[in-house]
């Protein structure tokens, strides 16, 4: 049973956005078919995928006769289409916390370019890099730590009590450094990011990137 759902991801399983939707579907306990596209040879530029995705990017979710790209839009769609209490929530119940989670998702997708460039997801999922961080990437990291320290309660496993999808997105950004062995991450943020990486949904994605 696939719920009539297909998720398109990159064939190397390195896309942080594809990871987010994969985790969302698994946390919702929804069955889905996974199809991978080789971005290296331009499979995402094929006409049929362009028509399906509209953006020519991964991830794209196909649900019956509806298709949607942009990872955070997909997560919000899934939370509405498969609501609690029947399905586990992807976002906090509280309106302001939900808004904060969306803020974080939007920010993590639109900022931190030097960090993303110098600590690619290969450093997270495959192997670390020995290259030193530039001043720009260090400044981006400090900005990230400032917000994460402000948002994460002391000793908490998650940002808002129960896990939400923004925890996975934040942990991914922190793990660009933590799993690379960079020591500038404040210890409690490093502990949080490592704990988030123990979730079964995340482990399942990591396995895919390691065997691809
Ligand atoms: N904002 C988008 C970003 C998606 C994205 O950049 N996907 C990359 C892979 S990580 C991609 O499809 N790149 C191919 C391209 O843009 O041509 C999201 O959150 O889904």
Looking at residue 59, the DSSP 8-state letter turns out to be -
pLDDT tens digit sequence for 101-112: 999 999 999 999
| CA-nearest residue, atom 9 of ligand 1 | 15
Is the Cβ atom of 71 under 6 angstroms away from ligand 1? Answer: yes
CA 87 – CA 81 distance, rounded (Å) = 10
pLDDT attached to residue 2? 61
Checking if the pLDDT of 130 tops 90, the result is: yes
pTM for the complete prediction? 0.97
CA 98 – CA 75 distance, rounded (Å) = 12
Q: Would you mind telling me the total number of residues written for the chain in this entry?
A: 212
Neighbours of 200 (CB within 10 A): 10
Is the Cβ atom of 53 under 6 angstroms away from ligand 1? Answer: no
- Asked if 124 and 172 touch (Cβ cutoff 8 Å), the reply is yes
pLDDT attached to residue 119? 98
Is the Cβ atom of 8 under 6 angstroms away from ligand 1? Answer: no
Q: Which of 10, 16, 17, 124 to mutate to test the pocket of ligand 1 (most atoms within 8 A of CB)?
A: 17
Q: What is the mean pLDDT of the chain?
A: 97
**Domains of the chain by range and CATH?**
5-89 (3.40.30.10), 95-199 (1.20.1050.10)
pLDDT tens digit sequence for 6-39: 999 999 999 999 999 999 999 999 999 999 999 9
- Asked if 212 and 10 touch (Cβ cutoff 8 Å), the reply is no
Is the Cβ atom of 76 under 6 angstroms away from ligand 1? Answer: no
- Asked if 169 and 158 touch (Cβ cutoff 8 Å), the reply is no
- Find the 173 Cα to ligand 1 centroid distance in Å: 16
CA 212 – CA 210 distance, rounded (Å) = 6
Percent of the chain with pLDDT over 90: 98
Is the Cβ atom of 17 under 6 angstroms away from ligand 1? Answer: yes
pLDDT attached to residue 110? 98
pLDDT tens digit sequence for 85-124: 999 999 999 999 999 999 999 999 999 999 999 999 999 9
Q: Mapping DSSP to helix (H, G, I), strand (E, B) and coil, where does residue 190 land?
A: helix
| CA-nearest residue, atom 18 of ligand 1 | 70
pLDDT attached to residue 212? 82
**Angle ∠(157,185,102) on CA atoms, nearest 5:** 55
């Amino acid at each position: 049973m696939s719920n009539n759902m297909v998720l398109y991801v990159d064939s190397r399983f390195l896309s942080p956005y594809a990871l987010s939707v994969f985790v969302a579907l698994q946390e919702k306990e929804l069955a889905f078919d996974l199809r991978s596209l080789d971005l290296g040879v331009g499979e995402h530029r094929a006409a049929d995928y362009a028509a399906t995705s509209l953006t020519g990017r991964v991830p794209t979710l196909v649900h019956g006769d509806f298709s949607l790209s942009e990872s955070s839009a997909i997560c919000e769609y899934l939370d509405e289409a498969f609501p609690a209490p029947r399905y586990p929530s992807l976002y906090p119940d509280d309106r302001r916390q939900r808004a904060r989670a969306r803020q974080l998702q939007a920010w993590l997708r639109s900022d931190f370019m030097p960090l993303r460039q110098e600590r690619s997801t290969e450093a997270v999922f495959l192997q670390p890099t020995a290259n030193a961080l530039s001043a720009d990437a260090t400044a981006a990291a400090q900005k990230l730590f400032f917000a994460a320290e402000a948002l994460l309660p002391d000793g908490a496993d998650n940002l808002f009590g129960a896990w939400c999808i923004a925890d996975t997105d934040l942990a991914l950004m922190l793990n660009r450094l933590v799993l690379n062995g960079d020591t500038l991450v404040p210890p409690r943020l490093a502990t949080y990011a490592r704990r988030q990486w123990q979730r079964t949904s995340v482990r399942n994605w990591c396995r895919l990137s390691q065997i691809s």
